[in-house]
Structure 1
Amino acid sequence: MTYIDLIEKYEPYNEQEVRDKKAILDFISQNDNHLVRTNLVAHLTSSAIVLNKDYTKVLFAFHNIYQSWSWLGGHLDGDKDLLKVAIKETKEETGIKHVKAFSSDIFMIDVIYVSNHIKHKKYVGDHLHLNVTFLLVGDESDTLVVKKDENQDVRWFDLDDVFNHISEERMVPVFKKAIQKIKQIIV
């Protein structure tokens, strides 16, 4: 199954996801360079919500750019395997070694505005992340490692406590949706 098939197969959770799924698929069909950052308007990204094995905690990193606790993940840089990228980015950003997919299906879809910033001493203009998120399960006993060029800290949070730590207001609805979906799955 191709990454486009995976996105097409995804059943939107709410009206926001219906619209975002359509926007993502339309953008893919109209832009050959949607998998790479050279598309300065928008590009596909792959993120992860990582739960511990008991499904009681979520692993977040304090991101340098956004100055907030947030999920893990990143750019595809041409890779068409969305799940592989989510797992790779999770390992790179946290040091966690033992992580696997809860499911190979997409967990959430979101179009996310990214404001201009400096990364690696270079200007990055405003753009959109056409983001797919996967639900992963990691080993809470793994040693966590800060990736200094990406984040300032990595930590497990109780599902209900994570909102006391998120300072990026525009991401709160995304994470509320994630926690709501998780609670529906693990009941």
Structure 2
Amino acid sequence: MHRIQLLDLLKKQKGFDENETKMIDETIEFVQTNEDCFKRELSIGHVTGSAWIVDKSRQFVLLTHHRKLNKWFQPGGHCDGDSDVLNVAMKEAIEETGVADIQVLSDEIFDVDIHLIPERKGIAAHFHYDIRFLFEADKNIPLVISEESNDLAWIGIAKVSELNDSESITRMARKF
């Protein structure tokens, strides 16, 4: 069961565009090849889980201004050995936003992205094979900024690219 659940989800996933389709294929290969793919100790890279959290109107997304990377991103983080990536995404969303009442909108994958994490404090550059899931939360619930963030905010989906114009983020916004 260790990798089978994720591989099954990835094999069902249809890419939004050619770029995402390529990353899905590469992620499948990575997970099949690396038994320790959920552990951050795998120095070439590892699977991470992220949450694209929208409000009930589907007009806003909850983003965090990441302290270390100094950019706006969706909440997410390392699996640390947990192969239930949906659970990881939910846990990270709650930890990074302070919002306990987050609903899973689908247990299917929302988006797949592979991105290079630069070398930092003696940890070599490596890849995150990021599995993103779609969640919903009430945008009136107070937010709690964690030590990992400089800020949290509900951003109009049409304005996401003004805060982070990377293909990784704008592709998720285009899916709405």
TM-score (norm 2): 0.93
Tell me, which stretches of 5 or more residues in structure 1 are unaligned? 183-187
Match in the other structure for 1:174: 168
Shift of 1:162: 2.2
Tell me how far apart the structure 2 counterparts of residues 57 and 13 of structure 1 sit (CA, whole Å).
20
State whether residues 46 and 75 of structure 1, in contact with CA within 8 Å, keep that contact through their aligned partners in structure 2: yes
Q: Is 2:36 the partner of 1:33?
A: yes
Matches within 5 A, 1:124-139: 124-139=123-138
State whether residues 37 and 43 of structure 1, in contact with CA within 8 Å, keep that contact through their aligned partners in structure 2: yes
Q: 2:26 aligns with which of 15, 23, 28?
A: 23
Q: Which amino acid aligns with 2:39?
A: V
Match in the other structure for 2:153: 155
> What secondary structure does 2:158 align onto?
coil
> What secondary structure does 1:124 align onto?
coil
Tell me how far apart the structure 2 counterparts of residues 162 and 10 of structure 1 sit (CA, whole Å).
24
Deviations 1:65-114 (A, max 9, x none): 11011111111111111111111100000101111111110011111111
After superposing on structure 2, the runs of 4+ consecutive aligned residues of structure 1 that deviate more than 3 Å are none
Tell me, which stretches of 5 or more residues in structure 2 are unaligned? none
Q: 2:81 aligns with which of 47, 53, 78?
A: 78
Match in the other structure for 1:43: 46
Match in the other structure for 1:185: none
State whether residues 160 and 173 of structure 2, in contact with CA within 8 Å, keep that contact through their aligned partners in structure 1: no
Tell me how far apart the structure 2 counterparts of residues 110 and 162 of structure 1 sit (CA, whole Å).
17
**Aligned residue pairs, count:** 173
